[in-house]
């Protein structure tokens, strides 16, 4: 078991104790916007401070509680927000995703690593708990592809992957060296209908549902037989909350727990959609950059450590997720139709 020096163990980070004040960076993104809503319901809106580098989206969320315009790389600004709101836990979600990172690698390094180190530094100074998402992107072509284990080869070939592995190591370093209560999971592709992802290799698994509802057909940028791990958003939010609530006594790992809920390829997902929209048609126009990234990632991970150490268990499989996605997107497009 790995123990933090007790003077550093975060108040509110162990099971049964309630987190008091949370800051979310990248709060208007795909995961942030739903985690924000869930934490505001759970902790009260005033106890969940949202931050992002933009204010042009999701006005309802911005106006539902405290919001700060903040670049996570700006350590001083971050420290100021943490102090003003007496934050004790940071969910650090601001990062560039894999496909964007590959087209702007230097910027990806600066944001993904610069943001993380400034969060960890403030956490060290002020005794904060930190959640940082890693990803299936932290694996590479030499990683075993099937039932990829928790502790295995990680030699990623994308800049996104480089920042994710470095981030995992940095979080472990801050825990061992300074006792910062840094925790995290390796997310697979996240599927949701509220806020679209942007610039990810797994984004096809979101786009396909909108295209199915709106046009009955989709042109996929990955090959039909490309298997990747995926997860529906309610499970992703649950993972983020549960790992921070987990009893530290039971954590043998701390950061970068493999978590997965399903694995499929575009052809298979199209089959699930076709079960509900019989005429749905999929075609392929492969994007070589995203295909190369996807080919370097596992087909499916195992997530035994997360299950044993903090009780991880997803609720949505592909069939249930597909039905819910189609229903929710239809509801939204009906509402939009009526509003016209």
User: Which residue ranges make up the site for ligand SER (CB under 6 A)?
Assistant: 97-98, 135-137, 160, 187, 189, 200-202
- How far is 163 from 217, CA to CA, in rounded Å? 35
Q: How far is the CB of 102 from ligand SER (least distance, A)?
A: 9
Contact status, residue 110 vs residue 169, Cβ threshold 8 Å:
no
- Catalytic residue positions, numbered: 160
Angle CA 285–287–290, to nearest 5:
135
> DSSP string of 244-297?
HHS-GGG-S--S-EE--SEEE-HHHHHHHHHTTSTT-EEEE---HHHHHHHHTS
Token couple for 84: 């003003």
Residue nearest to ligand SER (CB): 200
Q: How far is the CB of 17 from ligand SER (least distance, A)?
A: 30
Nearer to ligand SER, 128 or 294 (CB): 294
> DSSP string of 69-106?
E--TT-HHHHHHHHHHHT--EEEE-----HHHHHHSHH
Contact status, residue 38 vs residue 237, Cβ threshold 8 Å:
yes
Q: How far is the CB of 335 from ligand SER (least distance, A)?
A: 27
Nearer to ligand SER, 195 or 201 (CB): 201
Q: How far is the CB of 153 from ligand SER (least distance, A)?
A: 18
- How far is 75 from 122, CA to CA, in rounded Å? 7
Determine the 3-state secondary structure of 239 from DSSP. Answer: helix
Nearer to ligand SER, 160 or 174 (CB): 160
Nearer to ligand SER, 51 or 296 (CB): 296
Nearer to ligand SER, 179 or 197 (CB): 197
- How far is 163 from 68, CA to CA, in rounded Å? 25
Q: How far is the CB of 52 from ligand SER (least distance, A)?
A: 18
- How far is 2 from 4, CA to CA, in rounded Å? 7
């Amino acid at each position: 078991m790995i123990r933090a020096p007790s003077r550093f163990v975060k108040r509110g980070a162990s099971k049964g104790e309630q987190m008091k004040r949370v800051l979310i960076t990248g709060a208007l993104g795909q995961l942030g916007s739903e985690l924000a809503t869930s934490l505001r319901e759970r902790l009260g809106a005033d106890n969940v401070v949202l931050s992002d580098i933009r204010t042009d989206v999701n006005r309802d969320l911005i106006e539902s509680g405290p919001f700060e315009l903040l670049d996570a790389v700006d350590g001083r600004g971050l420290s100021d927000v943490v102090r003003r709101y007496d934050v004790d836990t940071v969910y650090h979600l601001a990062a560039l995703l894999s496909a964007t990172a590959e087209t702007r690698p230097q910027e990806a390094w600066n944001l993904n690593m610069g943001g993380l180190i400034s969060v960890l530094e403030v956490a060290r100074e002020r005794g904060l708990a930190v959640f940082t998402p890693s990803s299936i992107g932290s694996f590479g072509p030499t990683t075993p592809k099937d039932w990829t284990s928790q502790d295995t080869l990680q030699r990623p070939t994308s800049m996104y992957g480089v920042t994710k592995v470095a981030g995992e190591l940095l979080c472990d370093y801050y825990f061992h060296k300074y006792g910062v209560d840094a925790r995290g999971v390796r997310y697979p592709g996240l599927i949701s209908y509220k806020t679209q992802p942007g610039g990810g290799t797994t984004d096809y698994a979101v786009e396909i549902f909108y295209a199915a509802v709106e046009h009955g057909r989709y042109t996929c940028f990955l090959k039909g037989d490309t298997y990747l791990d995926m997860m529906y958003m309610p499970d992703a939010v649950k993972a983020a909350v549960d790992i921070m609530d987990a009893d530290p006594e039971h954590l043998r790992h701390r950061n970068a727990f493999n978590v997965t809920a399903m694995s499929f390829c575009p052809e298979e997902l199209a089959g699930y959609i076709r079960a509900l929209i019989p005429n749905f048609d999929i075609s392929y126009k492969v994007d070589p950059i995203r295909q190369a990234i996807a080919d370097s990632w596992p087909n499916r991970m195992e997530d035994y450590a997360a299950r044993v150490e903090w009780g991880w268990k997803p609720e949505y499989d592909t069939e249930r997720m597909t039905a819910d996605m189609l229903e929710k997107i239809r509801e939204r497009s009906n509402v939009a139709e009526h509003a016209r």
